[in-house]
């Protein structure tokens, strides 16, 4: 099949693209490299594709020509601005990329008769939910900018399904981890951050007590499901999760063991310092609401994966111990090369 993957130089899409390529599909990769890396496209010591379009999903003229030429069967739309504080810091850009960029793609999917559109949304849309595990048909509207953009983009997916019957799957990913996780960006995902700090022999700083519980899904499990949903030609929203939780303290402990850094202690900071690398967010006259930060840091995340099991026979396979080992092994290699 002819498949377009957006955000292909990113953590998840690069591995999805490689898997699709190995399965014999004709995969077109697109990324503007605002967060992606060339190195994410290296598998088995070589770059698996010569053809990556260094383009923005908002470049509608370029995309129109690409869709016309390639006649895509499937579009995986995983590009987006994902770090929460980046979205909070530049809401107009976050909306432009995460919402308008998605609508540009949906319109091309309609125009060129693409058979299926698969969109990467997030468990962050459940930030204000109080019932657990979170289920797909119950979302309390989110407050932060990032989940608000994803939730709005979801609404546009639904609008395109309602109007045109385009088969669409919306994924709500729990916290994803695995090889290629970004350890280098200003505010990396929590595992990337802990690994980077320990690699540099620094104490990881956790906010609050570190006892907040989260649901973590290993990247290859997610990719298995991303391929399984191709058989569905309806509109569907699917949680991608383990349905189990683990505390950030426990994660830190496992990472320390795997990295043989149990001698390094963990430090704890007040919730109000969570986005300290983004001082603009704390500026007067409207500094960010401390209660909102507290809620974000302390929130409990647990997503039901029953829908994925019932409809696609999918269950996650990779244990947290095994997944963290692979994440550490890969990340340490990346960090060693970066420091060379
Ligand atoms: N990693 C997680 O824990 C997680 C959880 C829930 C949802 N998601 C969603 O899954 C998707 C993939 O996440 P990821 O962790 O691989 O993120 P990532 O940041 O590693 O990858 C996103 C890619 O999109 C690219 N991109 C950003 N803006 C673009 C634009 N305007 N045009 C073209 N490319 C652009 C970036 O350069 C990057 O390579 C995202 O949409 C994210 O919101 C991720």
Residue whose CA is at the smallest distance from ligand 1 atom 42: 82
Pairwise CA distance, residues 337 & 340, whole Å: 5
Q: Residue 134: CB within 6 Å of ligand 1?
A: no
* Average pLDDT, integer, range 324-333: 97
* Average pLDDT, integer, range 125-144: 97
Extract the runs of DSSP E, i.e. beta strands, from 81-167: 116-122
What percent of the chain is modeled with pLDDT above 90?
94
Best of 7, 41, 95, 180 to mutate for ligand 1, by most ligand atoms within 8 A of CB?
Answer: 7
234 DSSP 8-state letter: S
Q: How far is CA 127 from CA 82, 119, 202, 236, 304, in A?
A: 15, 19, 30, 21, 15
pLDDT digit string (tens) for 214-237? 999 999 999 999 999 999 889 999
* Average pLDDT, integer, range 132-153: 98
* Average pLDDT, integer, range 106-126: 98
pLDDT digit string (tens) for 70-84? 999 999 999 999 999
Q: For residue 120, what pLDDT is reported?
A: 99
* Average pLDDT, integer, range 312-320: 98
pLDDT digit string (tens) for 10-57? 999 999 999 999 999 999 999 999 999 999 999 988 888 878 999 999
The per-residue pLDDT of the chain, averaged, comes to 96
* Gap from CA of 251 to ligand 1 centroid (Å): 23
Best of 5, 52, 79 to mutate for ligand 1, by most ligand atoms within 8 A of CB?
Answer: 79
- pLDDT above 80 for 339: no
Q: Classify domain 2-178+216-242+302-317 at the CATH class level.
A: alpha beta
Q: For residue 45, what pLDDT is reported?
A: 86
- pLDDT above 80 for 323: yes
Q: For residue 49, what pLDDT is reported?
A: 85
Q: For residue 340, what pLDDT is reported?
A: 60
* Gap from CA of 120 to ligand 1 centroid (Å): 8
Q: Residue 204: CB within 6 Å of ligand 1?
A: no
Q: How far is CA 216 from CA 40, 70, 145, in A?
A: 21, 36, 22
Q: For residue 272, what pLDDT is reported?
A: 84
pLDDT tier at 62 (50, 70, 90 boundaries)?
very high
pLDDT digit string (tens) for 226-273? 999 999 889 999 999 999 999 999 999 999 999 999 999 999 999 988
What percent of the chain is modeled with pLDDT above 70?
99
* Average pLDDT, integer, range 190-211: 97
* Average pLDDT, integer, range 78-101: 98
Pairwise CA distance, residues 86 & 200, whole Å: 24
Q: For residue 304, what pLDDT is reported?
A: 98
pLDDT tier at 192 (50, 70, 90 boundaries)?
very high
Residue ranges per structural domain of the chain: 2-178+216-242+302-317
| Sign of CA pseudo-dihedral 99, 15, 54, 35 | positive
* Gap from CA of 8 to ligand 1 centroid (Å): 9
């Amino acid at each position: 099949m002819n498949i377009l993957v957006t955000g292909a130089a990113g953590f998840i899409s690069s591995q999805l693209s490689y898997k699709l390529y190995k399965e014999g599909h004709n995969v077109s990769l697109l990324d503007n490299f605002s967060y992606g890396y060339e190195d994410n496209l290296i598998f088995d010591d070589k770059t698996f594709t010569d053809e990556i379009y260094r383009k923005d999903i908002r470049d509608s003229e370029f995309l129109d020509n690409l869709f016309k030429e390639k006649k895509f069967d499937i579009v995986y739309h995983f590009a987006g601005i994902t770090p929460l504080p980046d979205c909070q810091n530049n809401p107009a850009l976050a909306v432009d990329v995460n919402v308008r960029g998605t609508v540009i793609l949906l319109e091309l999917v309609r125009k060129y008769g693409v058979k299926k559109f698969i969109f990467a949304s997030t468990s962050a849309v459940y930030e204000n939910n109080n019932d657990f595990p979170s289920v797909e048909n119950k979302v309390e509207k989110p407050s932060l900018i990032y989940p608000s953009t994803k939730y709005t983009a979801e609404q546009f997916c639904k609008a395109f399904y309602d109007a045109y019957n385009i088969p669409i799957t919306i994924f709500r990913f729990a916290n994803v981890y695995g090889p290629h996780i970004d350890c280098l960006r200003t505010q990396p995902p929590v595992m990337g951050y802990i690994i980077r700090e320990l690699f540099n022999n620094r104490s990881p700083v956790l906010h609050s007590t570190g006892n907040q519980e989260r649901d973590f899904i290993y990247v290859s499990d997610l990719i298995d499901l991303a391929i399984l949903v191709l058989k569905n030609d309806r509109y569907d929203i699917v949680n991608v999760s383990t349905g189990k939780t683990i505390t950030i303290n426990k994660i830190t402990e496992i990472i320390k063991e795997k990295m043989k850094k149990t001698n390094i202690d963990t430090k704890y900071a007040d919730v109000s310092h969570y986005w300290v690398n983004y001082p603009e967010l704390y500026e007067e006259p409207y500094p960010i609401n401390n209660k909102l930060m507290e809620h974000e840091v302390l929130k409990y995340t647990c997503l039901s994966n029953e829908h994925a099991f019932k409809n696609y026979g999918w269950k996650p396979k990779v244990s947290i111990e095994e997944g963290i080992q692979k994440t550490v092994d890969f990340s340490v290699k990346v960090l060693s090369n970066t420091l060379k």
